[in-house]
Each structure stands twice: as structure tokens, then as C-alpha cells.
Amino acid sequence: MTWKKMGMFSLIVLFSLFLVLPNLSLAQKEVKIGVILPLSGPLAPIGKSLKEGAELAADIVNKKYPGIGIPIAEWEGIPGLGGAKIKLIFSDSRGDPAWGAEQAKRLIEDEKVVGLMGAYQSAVTKTASVEAERAGIPFVNPDSTSPDLSKRGFKWFWRVTPHETWFTRDLFDFLDGLVAGKAQGVKAVPKSELEPLAVAAENTEWGAASLAEIEKFAKERGWKIAESFKYPHKATDLTSEARKLTASKAPTFLFASYVSDAILFIKALKEMKATPRLIWGQNAGFIQPDFWKTLGADVNGIVSRDVFSSVLGKVKPEADRINKIYKERSGFDFDGSSARDFIGVQVWAHALNAAKSTDPKALQKALNELHIPGKELIMPWKGVKFGSPFPGDTNQNELGSGIIIQYQGYPDGKPEIVFPFEMATSRLIYPFAGWK
């Protein structure tokens, strides 16, 4: 009899377990997000860091990370979906637009992902997002900066990062801010001290676009340009180009250059004992480790636009705490790319939470209405909110911004943030002290 009773009891327990199980399985439900990144080929190292940034964000959403200071760290899954976990399905774009589009298709049709993310290179993002648009699946792009991407009027494409136009506007906000006396530790600079500008840009698509943007903004904001030219990139010698800059007597030099040319320019200017008051680089060569490793103390005082700096933790303690975890996992600090892919997953988590469903239409609505305040982000942004910040933009984050860093105290220094002025981690060194 006892055995019979035991059997009965077991059956009842099992039965009640089955009753509870649907809830259990709901709690364990996964939401698949496809992530397309260049995981092989020359961009593989960057792809790997992007992947680690995204993985960390998913981990922070899925597990409890007390004390970080941002809401997703307390969630343990998506609250709006009954605690469902985010599962990232990574796919290698090989850096190839056609292959990237194939992968988007595969993720949507075979993996049945709820949405897509990626793809770093603007050309790959362009083709992969077409597949998402066709299928009516949301594509969140945290890391591509070609202005065209958000000007296609797509209904299923949201870009989180600021694009190139923005960064050039930042430069002019920085220059105008200097004149208005907004820079930390520098008195208002008379405009005549910074004007006219001299611009050198490499003759590639990117260099030409940068030059055109600078000329456009200079005209709009009333800054005179004394000299602007394109030069053959990866040149054997840039002395005559550097001479052209110094001969223009312009106090402000602006560059759009790859790293080898950036090095040649600075060396040539040093050789000529040039005395500009401000040197600004459009990202690229001016923020590569090779740039400051090669030039050492000669980089001090040079400013460059950037999207992220490891000293950001000084003004954003959350960023510092998350960076520490990231460094433990990956062995290096966040950079502008990995930090943006972290935010990409954060955007997905918030959208899924608000939509309370994985239905594409509900997600579309949630993304359109999304608002993440700046204090929850590890980037120096005012937040994430999609709109049309520049003419022609659709679903482009309006609250992003770039930063401008200044090399200080090299060869042992760090790039300090000097713009946005309210986020500055150090006083701006102005004017440029020249080379010894």
C-alpha cells in the first residue's frame, strides 16, 4: 500500500509540475537577435571587440549585475517578456556586402531571429539592412557612420550612432565654443586668432566627403578658409603640402588623413617649425595607436574627433564600472566601436521590454518611441531617441554626439576629452605649444 501511495503522490507531483511548466518555459524563453559583424579578414580584430561588447551587454541584461548603476543590470532578462533572455546569434560578414546580405537573409529565414544588429562597415550595413527592410524585421545599426544610411527612408532601420555630418558639426561647435569662451581653462579666444582655416584631406571618397562637409559648415558658420586641398594618400613625401599649409598663414590646420600621412604631415610641420594655434584631425589616422606611438611627445596638444575615450569614466562612473568588467573579460578597454555595439544590445533590450512582444509591428512602434536617457549610456551622449536630426534623416538617433580628444602628457599620457565642454576630463591646452 505504501508503494501505491508513493506512486500516487509522485503522479500528483509530476502533474502539478506540468501545470507549472508552461510558466517555467516562458520564464526561460529566449529572444534571438542576429548580429552581423566582420569576424574574419582584415577587420577581424575589430569584429571580435564588437562581438565582445555586444556579448557583455547581453550578459548584463540576462544576469544580475548589482552596483553597476544602470537599469538593465537589475533586470535578469527582459521584464516586459516575462524575464526572457536575449540570445545573440553571430554571423560573419567577411567584410563583404553581398555575403553580409546573405547572412541577414539566413538569420531571418533559418534562425527566425526577432531582429538584426550590425554590421560595422557601412557598405555591409547598406546591403544587409535591405534584406531586413524587405522582410519587415527591425535592423538596429549601432556602428556605421556613412550619412547615406539613414537617408534612405527605411521603415525598419534605426541608427544609434551619430554619422559623419555630426562629427564635422562638432568641430564647428568646438571652434565656436572656443570663441564664446566655453572651453575649460581657456579664456574666450578672439575669432581672428583661429581664422582662417587651412584644410588638407586625402583624395579618397572619405577624404573628399570630409573636405566637402568642412567647407559646407565653414560657410554656414562664417569661418573663412585660406587654403584647402586634396593630396594623394599614402604619399611618399608631403613636404610641399605641409609648406602650403604654413604658407597660408592660417592659424588652424584641419586634416582628414590616414595614419601614415598624418605622421608625415606632423613630421614635416615640425621640420618647418610651423606655429599653428590649433591642429585638428578628423579621426582615422589621428586616433590610431600607431600615430602616437610613432610621434611620441610630438602629438601633445593635437586634437582629434573621436567617439569614445577610456578616460570617460572620470565623468561617467557607470562607464567606468562596465569598462572594468569588459576589461576582465576581454583583456582590453572599451573603444568607440565595442562601446557602441554594447549600446546596440541595450537599445534592443529596451525596445523588447517596451514592446512586450516579439511581433515586428510592436517592435517597430517601440523603437520609434524609444527614449534611453544619457545617464544610462556608456557613450558621452545625451541619450537615444530616433528622429530626423539632419535634413533627410529618418530613424536616426538625435541625442548622440562625438567627442574631441586632446593628446596631453605623451608619451605617457592619455587622450583627454575636451569636447563636449561639459564632459571635459581635462583643461584644453591652447594655443598649441609648437614642437621642441
Partner 1 sequence: MELTAQLLVYGVLMGLIFALIALGLSLIFGVMNIVNFAHGEFLMMGMYIAYLLSTFLHLDPLISLPIAAGAGYLLGIGSYHILIHRILRGPMVAQLFGTFGLMLFLRYLAMYIFTPDVRSVKQGILVGKTLSMGWVNVDASKIFSAGVCLLAFAAIYWMIYRTKLGRGLRATSIDAEAAKYMGIDTKGMNALAWGIGGATVALAGALLAHFYYVTPTVGMLFTLIAFATVALGGFGSILGAFVAGIIIGLIMVISGQLVSELKFSFIYVVYFLVVVFRPRGLFGW
Contacts with partner 1 by CB under 8 A lie at 203, 229-232, 234-241, 243-244, 247, 259-260, 263-264, 267, 270-273, 288, 290, 293-296, 298
For partner 1, give the closer residue by CB, 244 or 385: 244
For partner 1, give the closer residue by CB, 88 or 263: 263
For partner 1, give the closer residue by CB, 29 or 230: 230
For partner 1, give the closer residue by CB, 237 or 412: 237
For partner 1, give the closer residue by CB, 174 or 206: 206
For partner 1, give the closer residue by CB, 234 or 327: 234
Q: Which are the contacts of 153, defined by CB distance < 8 A and separation ≥ 6?
A: 394
Least separation in angstroms between CB 432 and partner 1: 17
Least separation in angstroms between CB 268 and partner 1: 9
Least separation in angstroms between CB 248 and partner 1: 12
Least separation in angstroms between CB 118 and partner 1: 25
Least separation in angstroms between CB 244 and partner 1: 6
Least separation in angstroms between CB 205 and partner 1: 14
Q: Is the peptide bond before 431 cis (omega within 30 degrees of 0)?
A: yes
User: Which contacts qualify for 349-354: CB closer than 8 Å, 24 or more apart?
Assistant: 349/57, 349/61, 349/72, 349/75, 349/78, 349/86, 350/72, 351/138, 351/140, 352/31, 352/78, 352/80, 352/81, 352/84, 352/86, 352/114, 353/75, 353/78, 353/79, 353/80, 353/81, 354/80
Least separation in angstroms between CB 237 and partner 1: 5
For partner 1, give the closer residue by CB, 120 or 258: 258
Least separation in angstroms between CB 412 and partner 1: 14
For partner 1, give the closer residue by CB, 90 or 253: 253
Least separation in angstroms between CB 299 and partner 1: 12
Question: Would you say 53 and 338 are in contact if contact means Cβ atoms under 8 Å apart?
Answer: yes
SS3 track for the chain: CHHHHHHHHHHHHHHHHHHHHHHHHHHCCEEEEEEEECCCCCCHHHHHHHHHHHHHHHHHHHCCCCCCCCHHHHCCCEHHHCCEEEEEEEEECCCCHHHHHHHHHHHHHCCCCCEEEECCCHHHHHHHHHHHHHHCCCEEECCCCCHHHHHCCCCCEEECCCCHHHHHHHHHHHHHHHHCCCCCCCCCCCHHHHCCEEEEEECCHHHHHHHHHHHHHHHHHCCCEEEEEEECCCCCCCHHHHHHHHHCCCCEEEEECCHHHHHHHHHHHHHCCCCCCEEEECCHHHHCHHHHHHHHHHHCCCEEEECCCHHHHHCCHHHHHHHHHHHHHHCCCCCHHHHHHHHHHHHHHHHHHHHCCCCHHHHHHHHHHCCEEHHHCCCCCCEECEECCCCCCCCEECCCCCEEEEEECCCCCEEEEEECHHHCCCCCCCCCCCCC
Least separation in angstroms between CB 225 and partner 1: 16
Least separation in angstroms between CB 286 and partner 1: 13
For partner 1, give the closer residue by CB, 56 or 197: 197
Least separation in angstroms between CB 45 and partner 1: 11
For partner 1, give the closer residue by CB, 260 or 330: 260
For partner 1, give the closer residue by CB, 47 or 400: 47
What is the spatial distance between Cα 240 and Cα 128, in angstroms, rounded to a whole number?
A: 43
For partner 1, give the closer residue by CB, 139 or 265: 265
Q: How far apart are the first and last CA of the chain?
A: 98
